[in-house]
């Protein structure tokens, strides 16, 4: 029987069923290959925007497309050499396009597009081709002259030889990001964020010499630079800027930003855009900080965007930013929810179950909004995040606050594309739990993202003198754990009913169950047999779930049970589970605040990395019966301009019909910059 719930003060998040009923004519499914499904996302309310806003979003989408080649180059030094060859084979192959070789080649092509290069976007492993070298040799021999991108002095034979090593030799530059602390993570990582022959020790010494530990407002060292070794054997930075590395791509980005500038919605927005252009022009990281502050403090604009070198997950040292762009506009109705949360940020901070010394005495300007994504690019495309919280610099977050956004139309697309896929029936322990998840998971998932982005990352503070990079290769995992734990801790809190964002005090159980199931079992679907957990968010989820499983044993909080030979997660005590989550939050906050590398590393290694091979095998087998791809990403809508006889733009419309290959080939044709 349905419980009678209090009416919410705010527009409630609709249940998934209600949204599905509204969106039944939108087809989310675009393409399927290897372990990937490509979806499309809808941009609701685009037509209701003003002409100025629509044109601005169009210019910003162009600025986003202009940076595409940067991420390809950052992801591997041969990617831009390889792409035109693969695409020429894909479009021009005159042999049997139904042959096994061509089909395997097509899959590889689609994987490379999805990875923005030859490495898997999530596992960081090099893709394994299933077509033969002979097929490739013949196809390359038939290519029109001029297809190969030769370096100076390079012969076509040499070029083809290196491309074949990239494609076919599994030992040649096998992994984009190596995180194993026992290795030289800089030298061993195949990503192109450091020059050839540069070692981890050298890079660390290079930046240690630059850092002033007493500087209260340090720049984000290395964020926009490739560290290379000169002829003299010394390291120096090649800075990403107009007259530096990636200058031709950055010139185009600046051009489009200049076009968008007169359409800025207010002075605050104009100021951050001008500062961003200045930063792109000079590469000066002080200007990036100034831009970040202006951006974080602009909370009035509807149209908004990120365009730059932002997240450092692809750098094993967590310093260099991968290029990305998010173009979006505010979803006003849904933002009332995140505003209710962020306006109570101090309350959440004050009640956080951590050492009071590590709470922020004054939470500064956590602004939160729900947005509608209208263009994704760079490291945010085709695979994308569902929430973002920026800027990343700790001192800016402490002194000026941060902006937290939830990408609701993306979350919605994920959820609606999954309706009826059989997941619950296979993995959830019983019908009541499954029904509870059907009713509440979408809503609590959304709130989890809000709490994670808006409060979790923004919470806590470092002890004086602690280096924000002290946790090294575990920094990202522990930071994600901190934010997740903060969100999980507060989901059951009566405060959420009080501020009117969640109706049922038991709703959180849907999220708890899914979180533990995912961390202990189902996320293993994303990992090949025999491998470890690598990616920061995945390590974080496993760390939390395994830690809670172990520490909850004396009270039988949660267990893995067997039924008919299948393993299920059974949660016996949700209340104690919340306490354990609070305990772990306190410990991870302590580790971060004190820069306790040893303790952090032990947690990550003990709980976050290793996999039980038997359970892994079982999860993969059970998934294989469901036909649910482990990874998903998106194509963007195509922007169409309507112009009058004088060439003035009179309207902008979005077209959702472009196929995945057509979109990728169009981007290569129209937006190659490097
Ligand atoms: Zn996060």
User: What is the Å distance from ligand 1's center to 640 Cα?
Assistant: 34
Could you tell me if 199 and 214 are in contact, meaning their C-beta atoms sit under 8 angstroms apart? no
User: What is the Å distance from ligand 1's center to 454 Cα?
Assistant: 10
User: What is the Å distance from ligand 1's center to 477 Cα?
Assistant: 9
d(CA 394, CA 289): 11
Residue 445 domain flag: yes
User: What is the Å distance from ligand 1's center to 348 Cα?
Assistant: 17
Same domain, 117 and 146: yes
d(CA 660, CA 669): 14
Q: Which residue ranges of the chain lie beneath pLDDT 70?
A: 1-14, 365
Query: What per-residue confidence (pLDDT) applies to 5?
Result: 52
User: What is the Å distance from ligand 1's center to 476 Cα?
Assistant: 9
User: What is the Å distance from ligand 1's center to 182 Cα?
Assistant: 26
User: What is the Å distance from ligand 1's center to 619 Cα?
Assistant: 26
Residue 433 domain flag: yes
Same domain, 571 and 493: yes
Residue 216 domain flag: yes
User: What is the Å distance from ligand 1's center to 5 Cα?
Assistant: 31
User: What is the Å distance from ligand 1's center to 456 Cα?
Assistant: 8
Residue 7 domain flag: no
Identify the helix (H) or strand (E) that includes residue 39: strand 36-40
Query: What per-residue confidence (pLDDT) applies to 2?
Result: 42
Same domain, 222 and 95: no
Q: What is the pLDDT of residues 273-297, one digit of tens each?
A: 999 999 999 999 999 999 999 999 9
d(CA 16, CA 431): 18
User: What is the Å distance from ligand 1's center to 224 Cα?
Assistant: 21
Strands (DSSP E) contained in 470-607 are: 558-563, 566-571
Same domain, 21 and 117: no
User: What is the Å distance from ligand 1's center to 195 Cα?
Assistant: 29
Same domain, 156 and 191: no
**CA 526, 532, 535, 537: dihedral to nearest 10 degrees?**
80
**pTM, 2 dp:** 0.86
Residue 647 domain flag: no
* Those residues with Cβ within 8 angstroms of residue 357's Cβ, 6 or more apart along the chain or in another chain: 463, 593
User: What is the Å distance from ligand 1's center to 452 Cα?
Assistant: 6
Residue 48, judged by CB atoms within 10 A of its CB (0-12, 13-18, 19+), counts as exposed
* Domain termination residue (choose one: 176, 196, 224): 176
Same domain, 496 and 576: yes
Identify the helix (H) or strand (E) that includes residue 225: strand 225-229
Could you tell me if 333 and 11 are in contact, meaning their C-beta atoms sit under 8 angstroms apart? yes
User: What is the Å distance from ligand 1's center to 481 Cα?
Assistant: 8
Residue 394 φ/ψ, nearest 5 degrees: -60, -40
Residue 46 domain flag: yes
Q: How far is the first Cα of the chain from the last one, in angstroms, to the nearest whole number? A: 61
User: What is the Å distance from ligand 1's center to 625 Cα?
Assistant: 31
Q: What is the pLDDT of residues 598-647, one digit of tens each?
A: 999 999 999 999 999 999 999 999 999 987 888 999 999 999 999 999 99
Query: What per-residue confidence (pLDDT) applies to 401?
Result: 85
User: What is the Å distance from ligand 1's center to 223 Cα?
Assistant: 18
H runs (alpha helix) in 552-646 = 574-594, 597-603, 613-624
Residue 650 domain flag: no
d(CA 376, CA 380): 6
Same domain, 130 and 199: no
User: What is the Å distance from ligand 1's center to 394 Cα?
Assistant: 14
User: What is the Å distance from ligand 1's center to 473 Cα?
Assistant: 16
User: What is the Å distance from ligand 1's center to 310 Cα?
Assistant: 13
* Domain termination residue (choose one: 158, 176, 194): 176
User: What is the Å distance from ligand 1's center to 480 Cα?
Assistant: 5
The tokens for 402 are 């941060």
Q: Is 29 helix (H, G, I), strand (E, B) or coil?
A: strand
d(CA 160, CA 300): 53
Alpha carbon of residue 337 to chain centroid: 23
d(CA 173, CA 47): 46
Could you tell me if 596 and 456 are in contact, meaning their C-beta atoms sit under 8 angstroms apart? no
Same domain, 281 and 367: yes
User: What is the Å distance from ligand 1's center to 448 Cα?
Assistant: 11
User: What is the Å distance from ligand 1's center to 455 Cα?
Assistant: 10
CATH of the domain at 40: 3.30.540.30
User: What is the Å distance from ligand 1's center to 366 Cα?
Assistant: 15
Number of domains composing the chain: 3
User: What is the Å distance from ligand 1's center to 365 Cα?
Assistant: 18
User: What is the Å distance from ligand 1's center to 621 Cα?
Assistant: 30
User: What is the Å distance from ligand 1's center to 573 Cα?
Assistant: 27
Domain carrying residue 556: 16-68+244-634
Residue 663 domain flag: no
Same domain, 52 and 86: no
Same domain, 254 and 114: no
User: What is the Å distance from ligand 1's center to 457 Cα?
Assistant: 7
User: What is the Å distance from ligand 1's center to 483 Cα?
Assistant: 6
Same domain, 562 and 414: yes
User: What is the Å distance from ligand 1's center to 113 Cα?
Assistant: 25
Same domain, 364 and 508: yes
């Amino acid at each position: 029987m349905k419980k009678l719930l209090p009416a919410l003060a705010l527009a409630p998040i609709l249940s998934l069923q209600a949204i599905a009923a509204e969106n039944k004519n939108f087809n989310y499914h675009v393409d399927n290959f290897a372990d990937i499904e490509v979806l499309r996302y809808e941009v609701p309310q685009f037509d209701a925007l003003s002409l100025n806003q629509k044109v601005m979003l169009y210019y910003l989408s162009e600025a986003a497309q202009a940076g595409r080649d940067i991420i390809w180059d950052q992801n591997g030094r041969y990617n831009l050499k390889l792409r035109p060859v693969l695409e020429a084979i894909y479009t021009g192959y005159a042999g049997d396009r139904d042959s096994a070789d061509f089909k395997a080649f097509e899959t590889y092509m689609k994987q490379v597009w999805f990875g923005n290069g030859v490495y898997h976007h999530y596992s960081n492993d090099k893709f394994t081709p299933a077509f033969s070298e002979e097929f490739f040799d013949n196809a390359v021999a038939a290519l029109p002259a001029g297809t190969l991108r030769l370096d100076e002095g390079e012969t076509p034979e040499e070029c083809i030889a290196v491309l074949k090593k990239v494609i076919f030799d599994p030992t040649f530059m096998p992994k984009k990001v190596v995180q194993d602390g026992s290795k030289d993570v800089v030298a061993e990582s195949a990503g192109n964020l450091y020059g050839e022959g540069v070692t981890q020790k050298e890079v660390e010494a290079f930046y240690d010499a630059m850092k002033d530990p007493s500087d209260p407002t340090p720049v984000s060292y290395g964020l926009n630079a490739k560290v290379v070794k000169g002829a003299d054997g010394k390291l120096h930075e090649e800075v990403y800027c107009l007259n530096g590395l990636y200058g031709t791509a950055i010139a185009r980005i600046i051009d489009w930003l200049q076009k968008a500038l007169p359409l800025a919605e207010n002075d605050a927005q104009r100021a951050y855009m001008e500062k961003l252009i200045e930063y792109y022009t000079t590469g000066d990281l002080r200007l990036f900080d100034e831009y970040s502050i202006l951006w974080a403090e602009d909370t009035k604009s509807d149209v908004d965007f990120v365009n730059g070198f932002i997240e450092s997950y692809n750098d094993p040292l967590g310093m260099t930013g991968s290029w990305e762009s998010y173009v979006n506009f505010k979803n006003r109705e849904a933002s009332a929810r995140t505003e209710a949360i962020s306006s109570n940020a101090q309350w959440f901070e004050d009640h956080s179950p951590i050492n009071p010394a590590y709470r922020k005495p004054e939470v500064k300007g956590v602004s939160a909004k729900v947005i509608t994504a209208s263009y994704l690019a760079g490291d945010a495309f085709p695979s994308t995040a569902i929430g973002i919280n920026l800027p990343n610099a700790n001192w800016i977050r402490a002194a000026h606050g941060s902006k937290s956004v939830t990408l609701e139309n993306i979350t919605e697309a994920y959820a609606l594309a999954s309706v009826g896929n059989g997941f619950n029936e296979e993995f959830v322990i019983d019908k009541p739990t499954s029904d509870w998840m059907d009713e509440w998971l979408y809503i609590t998932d959304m709130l989890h993202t809000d709490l994670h982005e808006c409060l979790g990352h923004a919470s806590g503070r470092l002890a004086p003198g602690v280096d924000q990079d002290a946790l090294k290769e575990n920094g990202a995992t522990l930071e994600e754990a901190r934010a997740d734990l903060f969100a999980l801790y507060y989901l059951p809190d009566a405060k959420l009913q009080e501020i009117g964002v969640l109706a049922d005090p038991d709703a959180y159980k849907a999220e708890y169950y899914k979180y533990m199931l995912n961390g202990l079992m189902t996320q293993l679907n994303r990992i090949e047999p025999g491998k470890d957990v690598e990616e920061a968010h995945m390590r974080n989820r496993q760390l939390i779930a395994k830690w809670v499983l172990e520490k909850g044993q004396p009270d039988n909080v949660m267990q893995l049970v067997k039924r008919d030979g299948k393993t299920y997660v059974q949660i016996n005590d949700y209340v104690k589970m919340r306490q354990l989550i609070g305990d772990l939050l306190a410990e991870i906050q302590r580790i971060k605040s004190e820069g306790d590398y040893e303790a952090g590393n032990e947690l990550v290694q003990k709980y976050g990395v290793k996999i039980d091979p038997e359970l892994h095998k079982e999860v993969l087998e059970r998934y294989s019966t469901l036909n649910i791809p482990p990874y998903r990403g998106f194509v963007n809508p195509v922007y169409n301009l309507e112009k009058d006889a004088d060439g003035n733009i009179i309207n902008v419309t979005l077209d959702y019909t472009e196929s995945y290959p057509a979109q990728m080939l169009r981007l290569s044709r129209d937006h190659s910059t490097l």
